[in-house]
């Protein structure tokens, strides 16, 4: 198997594609392709605004070049597609980025080429939705003129411990020989090793259930939190007691957003419904997790009322807007639910997040984060994301942002129990 003959193009240079292109660019010739010219210009200047890749890492990828030009891809013979797979407003899979990327690859596809997909999809999507597009735009025949693989991404934004190279990679191919080839290619960069799945559909299914399982576990803990709050029992105290048993899983309640956990289950349920099965447990978990933003605001409003704080016109500070701590990723952030619900109560809401790229928040959500904080300004403060900057501030400094008769809500258990007025 001659791996040296493969020149790789990575299609889509976001949170998934860029780290992949960088690692391959350290050992072989790679073209990083994206339709966003500004993104390409920044990367050429050694800057990754997502902070997933450092300027030193970009410089180390000496065989990696960046482009927006389709013609630059014609010299490649292995295309790895890493575009987003979101859901639409009706919570149905939005395959448009994936289809457009397949159209792009199809225009430059040649006999003998290999196309590998990393985007999260439902079982069957690669061969049933993407391959026909490749065939249509290339005029070539699948598994005769060109081949496909699937290796689901396992990127965890903001996580500097579980990175691409030290996280085991699932691989697969459209024929046994191609499966071996795909596996061998990834083995060049994945230190943790690979797991070669029996088929593309198995690999697709494995990816989509990883986050479905996590979503359901969090839904269970969220429901327990609702119950314990009604009983006047501190949820974290219960969880810490339960964790004294060796096999109790250490989940915490909270909002479930982001590009994976809050999205992937809908890909699986979409496919299940398409084949005539209505999933009960998965969708129940999704409904509960999607309702948590409204529940948080209900708790805040009740606490304000008890302190005789006028809700209408109240100034509320939401600390954090990214979908998780210590990263700039705002995709599918459920903090938006909190902001929207507060505005429904006619509160005046400020969002402060040192990680957020303001232009992105404005473009995606119509929210302009405040650039700095003022003491004594707020009737309620919601610690919504556990950024390290907030932890470093400490309870006293966070409290000082509020008025003398304000509410401090700790959604993420960032503070000790006695340091906040309410916790989830």
Exposed/middle/buried for 247, CB within 10 Å: 0-12, 13-18, 19+?
exposed
Residues 6+ apart with CB under 8 A from 205: 123
Maximum distance among all Cα pairs of the chain, rounded to whole angstroms: 74
Which one of 148, 260, 327, 347 is the catalytic residue?
260
- Please indicate whether residue 260 is annotated as part of the active site: yes
Residue 7 CA: distances (Å) to CA of 101, 144, 207, 269:
18, 20, 26, 36
Helix-strand-coil percent breakdown of the chain, rounded to 5? 40, 15, 45
- CB 10 within 8 Å of CB 34: no
CB atoms within 10 A of CB 264: 26
Sheet arrangement for strand 78-81: 64-67, 30-33, 8-11, 78-81, 114-117, 147-150
Number of residues in the chain: 424
Q: Measured between alpha carbons, how far is 286 from 278 in angstroms, rounded to an integer? A: 14
Q: Measured between alpha carbons, how far is 242 from 219 in angstroms, rounded to an integer? A: 17
- CB 118 within 8 Å of CB 82: yes
- CB 87 within 8 Å of CB 93: yes
Q: C-alpha 36: how far from its chain's center? A: 20
Which of 135, 148, 272 is CA-nearest to residue 200? 148
Residue-wise DSSP of 126-190 = IIIIIHHHHHHHH---BTTTBEEEE------TT-SSS-STTS-EEE-BSSHHHHHHHHHHHHTT-
Q: If you ran DSSP here, which 8-state letter would residue 355 be given? A: T
Sheet arrangement for strand 348-352: 348-352, 315-319, 378-383, 402-410, 422-423
Paired tokens of 6? 């493969």
Residue-wise DSSP of 263-277 = THHHHHHHHHHHTT-
Catalytic residues: 260
């Amino acid at each position: 198997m001659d791996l040296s003959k493969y020149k790789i193009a990575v299609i889509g240079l976001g949170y998934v594609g860029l780290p992949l292109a960088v690692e391959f660019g350290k050992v072989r010739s790679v073209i990083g392709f994206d339709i966003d010219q500004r993104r390409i210009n920044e990367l050429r200047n050694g800057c990754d605004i997502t902070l997933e890749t450092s300027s030193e890492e970009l410089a180390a990828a000496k065989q990696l070049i960046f482009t927006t030009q389709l013609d630059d891809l014609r010299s490649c013979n292995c295309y790895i597609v890493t575009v987003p797979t979101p859901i639409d407003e009706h919570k149905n899979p939005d395959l448009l980025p994936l289809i457009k990327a397949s159209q792009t690859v199809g225009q430059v596809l040649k006999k003998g080429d290999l196309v590998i997909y990393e985007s999260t999809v439902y079982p069957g999507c690669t061969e049933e939705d993407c391959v026909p597009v490749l065939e249509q735009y290339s005029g070539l025949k699948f598994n005769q003129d060109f081949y496909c693989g699937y290796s689901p991404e396992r990127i965890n934004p903001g996580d500097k411990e579980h990175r691409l190279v030290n996280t085991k990679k699932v691989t697969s191919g459209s024929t046994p020989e191609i499966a071996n080839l795909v596996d061998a290619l990834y083995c060049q960069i994945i230190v943790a090793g690979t797991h070669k799945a029996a088929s593309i559909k198995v690999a697709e299914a494995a990816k989509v259930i990883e986050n479905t399982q996590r979503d359901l576990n969090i839904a269970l803990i969220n429901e327990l939190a609702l119950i314990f709050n009604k009983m006047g029992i501190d949820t974290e105290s219960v969880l810490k007691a339960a964790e004294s048993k060796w096999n109790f899983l250490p989940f915490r309640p909270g909002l479930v957003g982001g590009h994976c956990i809050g999205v992937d289950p809908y890909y699986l349920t979409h496919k299940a419904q398409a084949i005539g099965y209505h999933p009960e447990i998965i969708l129940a978990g999704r409904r509960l997790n999607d309702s948590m933003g409204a529940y948080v605001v209900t708790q805040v409003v009740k606490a304000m009322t008890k302190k005789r704080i006028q809700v209408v016109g109240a100034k509320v500070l939401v600390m954090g807007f990214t979908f998780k701590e210590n990263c700039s990723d705002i995709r599918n952030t459920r903090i938006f639910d909190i902001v929207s619900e507060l505005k429904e109560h006619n509160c005046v809401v400020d969002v402060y997040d040192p990680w957020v790229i303001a232009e992105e928040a404005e473009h995606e959500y119509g929210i302009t984060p405040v650039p700095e904080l003022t003491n004594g300004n707020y009737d309620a403060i919601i610690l919504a994301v556990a950024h390290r900057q907030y932890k470093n501030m400490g309870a006293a400094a966070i409290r000082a942002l509020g008025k003398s008769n304000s509410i401090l809500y700790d959604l993420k258990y960032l503070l000790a129990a006695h340091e906040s007025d309410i916790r989830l």
